[in-house]
Amino acid sequence: MSVLAPESRPQTGPTVNAPSRGGPSPSSGPNRQSSSRRKAFRRAPRPVLEGRLYWWHIPLTLLLLALGVWIGREQWVEIYEYATRDQEYSHILLTLPVAGLLIWVRRLRLRHFRVSGAWTGVAIVLAGLVARERGFEFNRQILQHAGTVMIAIGCVMSVLGQSALTRFFPAVLALAFLVPVPGELRQQIAVQLQQATATITQAILGAAGVETRVVGNTLSINGKDLIVAEACNGMRLVFPLVMITFVFAFSIPLRNSVRLVLLLASPLVALVCNVIRTVPTVWIHGQFTDPAAKFPEQFHDAAGWAMLPLAFVVLMALIRVLRWAQVPVQRYTLANQ
């Protein structure tokens, strides 16, 4: 029985070529197969899905919005003049930043945004045109301005659909502050605020031992008559405070009933803040006998700026009181509560 040496044993398996030192060539082997496989399964272009928000919706929305503003350009100029020339309407300048803030708070809703129901925007545009024409017919500026704002809103919704209204309703509702309130209505509110401010201020000063007398909207202290005029009646605080309350109510997840209570209480908060400003102002006027003294007016103006932060503190305190009383304030309980 002969035994073969290892060098002379026959090869029974398949022959495998040893790889070269430089590695496999790119034109053969698995690399070539993978490249051909990538070409075969190259990604097809994504089809346009119905209802999806695409980049071209943005320039189209801006184009239609510019068209809507151009249609009501005369009314937009009037609104701007109201806001810049009359301090009673200065809150209009805060409307667009407030609407932008409410959109930013709800920015995560864009993930599920669906472009559908564009006919809603067309209907709002038509309603705005009708309201605007009625305003011209009956000489009502509030209808002209409201119709102009509705046209702009409808132009945006004609592209983005009704989701722009349903998912960002608080921001759309905030645009109502762009419409200037008629002077007759403002005058009626101002007269009531003047009388209420004068009466409450006289009661507080009387309780503090300061002798005062009130006739209508006139306060008398130390022989000086002070008229609670437009600068002191709190009218300039009503609409800014309503706007602050609106932002506060729709920036946190409150129950709709609590939001309604806050909005209805905003005029009362304005009256309270105005009384807080008027009481020390009247007392300071009574201490300065020189009619040329500027400090009382400077204090009055500085106190007016402090009323908006004070109103925010009052709203926060109101929410704290409701939570302390175990009143359900928010839609759901947060983890830190």
pLDDT tens-digit map of 279-321 = 888 888 777 766 666 777 777 777 777 887 888 888 888 888 8
Per-residue pLDDT, 227: 64
What predicted TM-score, i.e. pTM, was given to this entire model?
A: 0.73
Segment 30-71, tens digit of pLDDT = 555 555 555 544 554 444 455 777 888 889 999 999 999 999
Distance CA 288, CA 304 (A): 20
pLDDT value of residue 41: 46
Say how many CA atoms lie within 13 Å of 78 toward its Cβ: 14
Q: Where are the domains of the chain?
A: 57-180, 184-324
Q: Distance between CA atoms of 147 and 135, rounded to whole angstroms?
A: 8
The mean predicted confidence, pLDDT, of the chain is 79
Would you tell me how many other CB atoms lie within 10 Å of the CB of residue 314? 18
pLDDT tens per residue across span 73-100? 999 999 999 999 988 888 899 999 999 9
Kindly list the distances between the CA atom of residue 58 and the CA atoms of 47, 62, 156, 167, in Å, as whole numbers in the listed order: 19, 6, 10, 17
17-30 average pLDDT score: 50
157-167 pLDDT, tens digit per residue, is 999 988 888 89
